[in-house]
């Protein structure tokens, strides 16, 4: 019986153990099933990634690969054909039949060259054309715009002015639409430029009203005629916005980046040029964007300004003086710069590679456009080139590092102290050609927001509010305040409250220029938008400006509550912030409050009330006087009786 009971207990324990295992395995299977079921709906994107792209996918947009691919894909033959077709339509003044035909031609080209990826629309009363190649991040990120005008003067077919700009945009449509990009790329074809930049002005205004965050607008207007007296690597101007308080990153960075692209891919033709060094800066469509507050513009244009074909019937595709090769090299540099800036791997350092063959006794210069004061790591593989000399120079031409690279383990680190074009020079001192695989590592800050690109993702400046003050970075930049400080003028009021609560200026701590700070005026109940420094609101004979200077209250005639008005106290040398009503500074027996009520000077005695105790002599004199007085009275009384 005991044995049977023991067996029953053992079986019960075994059965319980089996049940526990079944429950465990069932739980595991259930959790796995739930994980598989919900996995697709989990948002695995980085904080900065948008439109369903994950961080790992965005990192596949890689800088050096795509910039070189785009550069090499730009075709002179394709560019030439586009200008020829454009020119053959004939003169295209706004409102003409040829102008209409050109619009139809551009729209069809946008569709055909992009295989339908670029959508287009005719916008505005001047009927400009805007094409859009959508990026992965969409409206949550900034955009790039490339454009030129398609209208001409009455007599000119416009091969150069501005068929060269139209063809640049269309050729880059063909090349750039082959790839996926994080940012939207717009292609603008402006009408009515020749009659006053009307088309581009209209669209720039629309973009501003839409809070369009433009990373860069690249305007192309006439590329085909170059100055033969200039060096071969300075045949096309890219003019950058060098206006008052325009940041380096807004414009100059882009002109220099285009120079670097052409140099590094063996056909440098671009010369960056400040807008202050030109007389024609305000005469093309980029200036419409400047007028709407967009500093981020560059203007690509030919170097020959004694152009005999300008605005004539000879501005046609087969003019022999037109140099399509140089123009195409400029287009390739522009496209490569757009590719480079977009495909820097956000969230990590740039790793750039250059495969170079250098003839014996020669050197090769690689340009690095530094947008961040940082460092550059230089390494590589030196096939048959041990001892190759590497020298790094900053934009001023000063050597910031130099080393003979003896092995593939060698690394030269240099620190930058300037923004702009840095030179990495590889000097082949061998008697034979060498092959070098140069590797560069550095950080960037393309937006110029003081945040390294290795630590952020693309975001629209109209989405970002870096200082958390309720105003987007773009809006702060547009009005001139600091997007990285919630109180740009350090007056104790947030930029948001100044704009939307008090109506004061976030860039001026005294918005009404009455010499009283906005914060003080709000604190004491004055109007910071009204120049009221000379008002006496409390009738205490003290204007508000003096109340501010003395720390008294402009709406309380007696700030210290001692019964005397602030103005009277200050006029008479008393302290309007201390209750001194019972003091008697002139020791005349009248306290300050009595002096105030009688309008006397509290520091000038009016009468003396002695409180000094009498001595023996004084008391004797008084007693003697009283005695004499009594004797006199007695004498007079007796005289009365005798009479």
CATH number of this structure's domain 350-442: 2.60.120.380
307-332 pLDDT, tens per residue?
999 999 999 999 999 999 999 999 99
**How would residue 382 be classed by pLDDT, with cut points 50, 70 and 90?**
confident
Sign of the torsion formed by the C-alpha atoms of 546, 551, 556 and 559: negative
pLDDT at 45 over 80: no
pLDDT at 31 over 50: no
Q: Which of 4-18, 226-240, 551-565 has the lowest mean pLDDT?
A: 4-18
197-231 pLDDT, tens per residue?
999 999 999 999 999 999 999 999 999 999 999 99
Q: What is the pLDDT of residue 268?
A: 96
The ranges assigned to domains in the chain are: 55-343, 350-442
Q: In whole angstroms, how far apart are CA 271 and each of 40, 168, 237, 254, 410?
A: 50, 18, 5, 12, 34
Q: What is the pLDDT of residue 615?
A: 66
Residues in a beta bridge with 190: 149
Q: What is the pLDDT of residue 569?
A: 86
Query: Would you tell me the crossing angle of helices 76-88 and 163-176 to the nearest 10 degrees?
Result: 130
Instruction: List strands edge to edge, sheet with 434-442.
Output: 350-358, 434-442, 375-383, 412-415
Q: What is the pLDDT of residue 635?
A: 75
* Beta strands, E only, 278-398: 297-302, 350-358, 363-370, 375-383, 388-393
Sign of the torsion formed by the C-alpha atoms of 256, 365, 454 and 54: positive
CB-based burial label for 44 (10 Å; 0-12, 13-18, 19+): exposed
Q: In whole angstroms, how far apart are CA 541 and each of 3, 548, 568?
A: 114, 14, 7
Q: What is the pLDDT of residue 137?
A: 87
- DSSP code for 465: -
What 3-state class would DSSP assign to 82? helix
pLDDT at 614 over 70: no
Numbers of helices and strands, H then E, in the chain: 17, 16
Q: What is the pLDDT of residue 215?
A: 96
CB-based burial label for 77 (10 Å; 0-12, 13-18, 19+): exposed
Residue 238 near residue 44 (C-beta atoms within 8 A): no
Percentage above 90 pLDDT, the chain: 53
Q: Which of 4-8, 38-42, 248-252, 433-437 has the lowest mean pLDDT?
A: 38-42
Look at residues 438, 303, 240 and name the one whose alpha carbon lies nearest to residue 358.
Answer: 438
pLDDT at 43 over 50: no
Residue 580 near residue 602 (C-beta atoms within 8 A): no
- DSSP code for 498: I
pLDDT at 506 over 60: yes
**How would residue 607 be classed by pLDDT, with cut points 50, 70 and 90?**
low
Q: 191's torsion region: left (phi>0), alpha (psi -120 to 50) or beta?
A: beta
CATH topology of domain 55-343: Aminopeptidase (3.40.630)
**How would residue 44 be classed by pLDDT, with cut points 50, 70 and 90?**
very low
What 3-state class would DSSP assign to 403? strand
Mean pLDDT of the chain: 85
Higher per-residue pLDDT: 507 or 93: 93
**How would residue 279 be classed by pLDDT, with cut points 50, 70 and 90?**
very high
**How would residue 73 be classed by pLDDT, with cut points 50, 70 and 90?**
very high
Q: What is the pLDDT of residue 18?
A: 40
Instruction: Provide long-range contacts, Cβ within 8 A and 24+ apart, for 484-490.
Output: 484/449, 484/450
């Amino acid at each position: 019986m005991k044995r049977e009971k023991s067996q029953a207990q053992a079986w019960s324990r075994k059965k319980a153990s089996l049940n526990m295992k079944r429950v465990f395995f069932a739980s595991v299977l259930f959790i796995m099933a739930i994980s598989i079921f919900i996995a697709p709906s989990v948002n695995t994107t980085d904080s900065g990634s948008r439109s369903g792209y994950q961080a790992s996918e965005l990192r596949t947009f890689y800088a050096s690969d795509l910039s070189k691919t785009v550069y090499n894909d730009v075709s002179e033959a394709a560019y030439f054909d586009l200008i020829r077709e454009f020119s053959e339509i004939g003169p295209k003044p706004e409102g003409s039949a040829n102008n209409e035909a050109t619009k139809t031609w551009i729209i069809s080209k946008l569709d055909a060259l992009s295989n339908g990826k670029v959508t287009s629309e005719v916008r505005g009363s001047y009927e400009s054309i805007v094409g859009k190649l959508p990026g992965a991040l969409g409206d949550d990120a900034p955009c790039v715009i490339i454009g030129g005008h398609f209208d001409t003067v009455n007599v000119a077919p416009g091969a150069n002015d501005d068929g060269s700009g139209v063809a640049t945009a269309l050729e880059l449509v063909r090349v750039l639409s082959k790839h996926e990009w994080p940012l939207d790329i717009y292609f603008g074809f402006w009408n009515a430029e020749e009659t006053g930049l009307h088309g581009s002005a209209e669209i720039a205004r629309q973009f501003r009203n839409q809070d369009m965050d433009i990373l860069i607008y690249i305007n192309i207007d006439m590329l085909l005629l170059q100055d033969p007296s200039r060096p071969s690597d300075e045949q096309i101007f890219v003019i950058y916005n060098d206006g008052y308080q325009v940041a380096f990153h807004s414009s100059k960075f882009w002109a220099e980046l285009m120079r670097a692209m052409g140099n590094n891919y063996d056909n440098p033709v671009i010369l960056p040029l400040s807008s202050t060094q030109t007389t024609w800066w305000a005469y093309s469509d980029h200036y419409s964007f400047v007028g709407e507050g967009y500093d981020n513009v560059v203007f690509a244009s030919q170097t020959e300004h004694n152009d005999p074909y300008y605005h004539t019937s000879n501005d046609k595709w087969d003019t022999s003086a037109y140099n399509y090769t140089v123009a195409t090299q400029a287009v390739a540099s522009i496209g490569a710069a757009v590719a480079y800036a977009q495909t820097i791997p956000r969230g990590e350092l740039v790793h750039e590679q250059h495969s170079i063959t250098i003839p014996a006794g020669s050197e090769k210069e690689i340009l690095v456009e530094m947008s961040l004061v940082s460092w550059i790591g230089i390494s590589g593989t030196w096939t048959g080139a041990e001892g190759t000399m590497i020298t790094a120079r900053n934009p001023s031409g000063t050597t910031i590092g130099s080393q003979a690279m003896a092995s593939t383990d060698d690394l030269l680190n240099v620190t930058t102290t300037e923004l702009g074009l840095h030179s990495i020079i590889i000097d082949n001192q061998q008697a034979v050609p060498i092959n070098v695989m140069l590797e560069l590592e550095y950080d960037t800050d393309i937006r110029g927001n003081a945040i390294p690109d290795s630590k952020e993702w693309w975001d629209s400046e109209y989405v970002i509010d870096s200082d958390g003050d309720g105003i987007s970075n773009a809006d702060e930049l547009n009005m001139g305040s600091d997007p990285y400080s919630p109180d740009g003028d350090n007056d104790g009021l947030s930029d948001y409250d100044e704009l939307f609560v008090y109506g004061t200026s976030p860039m001026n701590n005294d918005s009404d220029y009455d010499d009283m700070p906005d914060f003080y005026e709000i604190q004491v109940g004055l109007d910071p938008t009204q120049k009221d420094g000379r008002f006496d609101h409390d009738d205490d004979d003290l204007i508000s400006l003096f109340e501010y200077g003395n720390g008294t209250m402009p709406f309380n005639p007696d700030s210290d509550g001692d019964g005397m008005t602030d103005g009277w106290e200050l006029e008479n040398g008393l302290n309007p912030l201390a209750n001194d009503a019972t003091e008697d500074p002139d020791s005349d027996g009248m306290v300050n409050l009595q002096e105030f009520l009688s309008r006397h000077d509290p520091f000038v005695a009016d009468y003396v009330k002695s409180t000094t105790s009498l001595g023996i002599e004084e008391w004797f004199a008084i007693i003697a006087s009283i005695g004499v007085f009594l004797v006199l009275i007695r004498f007079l009384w007796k005289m009365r009786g005798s009479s």
